[in-house]
Amino acid sequence: MSIGTLALKNNLVMAPMAGYTQRGLRMLARQQGAAMAVTEMISAYEILRPSRKTRRMIRIAQDDHPLGVQVFGADPLMMADAAARIEQMGCFDLIDVNMACPVRKMIAKGNGGAMLRTPDLGLEILAGMRRATRLPLTVKVRRGYDASAAGREQVERLLAGADELGVDAATIHGRTVDQLYHGQADWSFAVEMAGRLRMPVFGSGDLLDAPSILDRLRGGGIVGVAVARGAVGHPWIFREAMALDAGLPVEPVSPAERVECMWQHYEMLRDELGDYSAIRIMRRFGMFYSKGIDRARESRMAMGKVASRDDLAEVIKEYFE
């Protein structure tokens, strides 16, 4: 399949997640079959005037492709300038615009999911970005700011306008903005819009295991899925989904494979961000890597206290090997 001019080997994407989709998780997802990954979201301002943290985020390795960068902002001119700058960088294959994030500090500044209340502004932003870059351009939304008829109409108008502007694809999350991450994702809106839009539609929300991915893909309408939390601490979800789709048995993850994955993850984080940040992030991931193992609760408590590589080695040896 393809998104604009970008050819992908399949329809499984590692979704962007703030605090999680550093290079480590992106590469692990690719190793397990994901066709593309997307960075943590970055503000248009930071693209144009990058801090040290952002410079690290946009220092992309040659093997970290295909790679999308997710940007956000509420200023049309700045967003267009950011799109042009991203193309000039030459290190990204696609630009994804975040009009979905429900976090309060984003909403308060008119960013992310707040855009669903101002579709005209959202379309002005997308139009400027479309003129500014030849890179594939996509947009991430939710099924409405809220569950009201007006909320639905606003996101419908945004998506229809984006389609007319030549946006190359949309990802639709099955919750409303005001739901945050509570309740279940409702995919009916994504499926309906997929039948009405020319651009391809990806779905997201509650893709926590391989069967849930297959159910959504086989349900019709959407062309692919963007997997988020389901891949955190379990990048094998992509491999498992492909095996299920091919009618093959799903091989369980062995302790040795889990340990190897954890060390790979740590080492890639260390190379990208330094040891201090790598250890802090691995503490966060520990609760996810422990899912399904014996003494999972104890392992999570131990991972939460890890302060060095030696500590990490002790915890992995004690609980994961």
Which residues are designated catalytic? Answer: 101
What does residue 161 show for φ and ψ, rounded to 5 degrees? Answer: -65, -40
Q: Which residues contact 178 (CB under 8 A, 6 or more apart)?
A: 102, 145, 146
Q: Which residues contact 208 (CB under 8 A, 6 or more apart)?
A: 229, 230
Query: Quick one: three-class SS letters along 219-281?
Result: CCCCCEEEECHHHCCCCCHHHHHHHHHCCCCCCCCCHHHHHHHHHHHHHHHHHHHCHHHHHHH
Tell me the C-alpha distance between 145 and 162, whole Å. 17
Say if CB 224 and CB 13 are below 8 A apart: yes
Tell me the C-alpha distance between 74 and 68, whole Å. 20
Say if CB 54 and CB 46 are below 8 A apart: yes
DSSP-based three-state secondary structure for 123 = helix
Tell me the C-alpha distance between 14 and 26, whole Å. 7
Tell me the C-alpha distance between 192 and 172, whole Å. 11
Q: Residues 285, 243, 210, 217: what is their CA dihedral angle, to the nearest 10 degrees?
A: 130
Angle between the 119-132 and 149-165 helix axes, to the nearest 10 degrees? Answer: 20
First vs last Cα of the chain: how many Å apart?
39
